[in-house]
C-alpha cells in the first residue's frame, strides 16, 4: 500500500433475506434498507428484484438518480422525456429523475428479470435539475485488467481507467471479477462512503488486523476515511471458484432527507409540491401499451 493511503476495513456485514414482493412471482431483497439516511448517505436504498413483465407499472420520480444493473434477463425502459433503451446482463442504466419524469421498466414478455436498483440522492441545489438518461452498455464500458482480475468501470475510475458516465454526485461503481485465489486493490476517493455487494463466489476483504470473509448475497459496509489522502479496498478470491462483487462509493451530502414513495426531497413542503405537480400532469405522460 502506498504511503498515505488508508486501508478500508469492513465495519458491518448484512445478509438480507429474499422475501415475497408485490405478487407471487416477484421476489425482492433489501440490500440497503431505506430510512437510515445519515448512515447510508448519499445512497437511499438498494433493492434486488426478480420480476416478470407487469410487476412495475409507469411511475414517477423526483429528486434522485436511479442506477439499474441487470444480472439476468433484460429490462426495457421508456420514460416521459422520450428516452428508450434495453439493459442486458452485465449492463446498467443511469437515470437522473431531477425535477421529475414518468418511466416504465419491464422485461420482455415471458422473461424474468433479475436486477439491482440503487437510488442515489441529489443535493438540494440539483433536486430540480433537468432529467437525463444514460445507457451503460457492454460495448461502451471501460475495463481494467490485471492478472486474475477484471474491473469494469461503470462510474468513477479504477487506476488509469475512467468511465465517461456523468454524475451530479461523485459516485464510484466498479464490478470486479477475480479468478480463484486472485487479489486486487481498489482505490477509492477518501471522501466517499462505500460498500460492496457480493454477486457470486466467496472471498475476503482485507483489514488492518485480519481479513473479513464474504460470500454471495452479502453486503459489506466499509469504514469511512474522511481525513485520509486516499484509500483502497483489498479483495481476495477463495480457491473454490471465481469471485464477483460490485463496489459502490459516494460522497455524503449531509442534507435533510424527506422521502415519500418515489419522491425524495429536503422538506415536507417540497414533497407536497411534488405530488401536486404529478397530479397536475407536469411530469409528462407515458403510454404503457
pLDDT tens, the chain, 289 aa long = 566 789 999 999 999 999 999 999 999 999 999 999 999 999 999 999 999 999 998 999 999 999 999 999 999 999 998 888 899 999 999 999 999 999 999 999 999 999 999 999 999 999 999 999 999 999 999 999 999 999 999 999 999 999 999 999 899 999 999 999 999 999 999 999 999 999 999 999 999 889 999 999 999 999 999 877 889 999 999 999 899 999 999 999 999 999 999 999 999 999 999 999 999 999 999 865 4
Phi, psi dihedral angles at 275 (to 5 degrees): -65, -40
Which CATH number describes the domain made up of 5-257+264-271?
A: 2.60.120.10
> What are the residue ranges spanned by the domains of the chain?
5-257+264-271
The pLDDT of residue 15 is 97
Q: Where are the alpha helices (DSSP H) in 32-130?
A: 37-40
Q: Are 193 and 11 in contact (CB under 8 A)?
A: no
The pLDDT of residue 289 is 42
Phi, psi dihedral angles at 109 (to 5 degrees): -55, 130
Q: Are 271 and 260 in contact (CB under 8 A)?
A: yes
Phi, psi dihedral angles at 38 (to 5 degrees): -65, -35
Mapping DSSP onto H, E and C, the string for 207-257 reads CCCCCEEEECCCEEEECCCCCCCEEEEEEEECCCCCEEEEEEEECCCCCCC
The pLDDT of residue 3 is 65
DSSP 2-57: -TTEEEP-EEEEE-PPPEE-SSTT-EEEEEE-TT-HHHHTTEEEEEEEEE-TTSS-
Angle formed at CA 42 by CA 41 and CA 43, multiple of 5 degrees: 90
The pLDDT of residue 169 is 87
CA diameter of the chain:
58
The pLDDT of residue 229 is 83
Peptide bond preceding 26: is omega within 30 degrees of 0, i.e. cis?
A: no
pTM: 0.96
Instruction: Please tell me what DSSP assigns to residue 62.
Output: B
Rg of the Cα atoms in the chain: 19
Taking Cα atoms as reference points, which of 110, 112, 97 lies closest to residue 61? 97
Cell numbers describing residue 232? 483502497
Phi, psi dihedral angles at 278 (to 5 degrees): -65, -45
Instruction: Please tell me what DSSP assigns to residue 107.
Output: P
Amino acid at each position: 500500500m502506498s504511503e498515505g493511503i488508508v486501508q478500508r476495513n469492513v465495519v458491518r456485514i448484512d445478509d438480507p433475506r429474499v422475501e415475497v414482493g408485490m405478487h407471487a412471482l416477484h421476489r425482492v431483497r433489501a440490500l440497503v434498507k431505506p430510512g437510515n439516511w445519515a448512515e447510508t448517505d448519499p445512497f437511499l436504498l438498494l433493492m434486488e428484484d426478480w420480476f416478470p413483465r407487469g410487476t412495475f407499472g409507469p411511475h414517477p420520480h423526483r429528486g434522485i438518480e436511479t442506477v439499474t444493473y441487470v444480472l439476468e434477463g433484460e429490462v426495457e425502459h421508456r420514460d416521459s422525456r422520450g428516452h428508450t433503451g434495453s439493459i442486458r446482463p452485465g449492463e446498467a442504466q443511469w437515470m437522473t429523475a431531477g425535477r421529475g419524469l414518468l418511466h416504465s421498466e419491464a422485461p420482455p414478455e415471458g422473461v424474468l428479470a433479475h436486477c439491482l436498483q440503487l437510488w442515489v440522492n441529489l443535493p438540494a441545489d440539483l433536486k430540480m435539475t433537468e432529467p437525463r438518461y444514460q445507457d451503460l452498455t457492454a460495448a461502451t464500458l471501460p475495463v481494467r485488467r490485471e492478472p486474475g482480475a477484471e474491473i469494469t468501470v461503470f462510474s468513477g475510475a479504477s487506476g488509469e481507467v475512467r468511465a465517461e458516465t456523468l454524475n451530479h454526485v461523485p459516485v464510484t461503481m466498479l464490478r470486479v471479477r477475480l479468478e480463484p485465489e486472485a487479489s486486487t486493490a481498489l482505490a477509492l476517493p477518501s471522501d466517499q462512503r462505500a460498500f460492496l455487494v457480493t454477486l457470486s463466489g466467496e472471498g475476503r476483504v482485507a483489514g488492518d488486523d485480519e481479513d473479513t470473509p464474504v460470500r454471495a448475497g452479502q453486503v459489506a459496509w466499509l469504514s469511512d476515511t474522511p481525513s485520509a489522502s486516499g484509500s483502497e479496498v483489498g479483495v481476495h478470491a477463495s480457491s473454490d471458484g471465481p469471485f464477483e462483487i460490485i463496489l459502490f462509493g459516494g460522497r455524503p451530502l449531509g442534507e435533510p432527507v424527506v422521502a415519500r414513495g418515489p419522491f425524495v426531497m429536503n422538506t415536507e413542503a417540497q414533497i407536497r409540491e411534488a405530488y401536486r405537480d404529478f397530479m397536475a400532469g407536469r411530469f409528462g405522460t407515458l403510454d404503457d401499451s
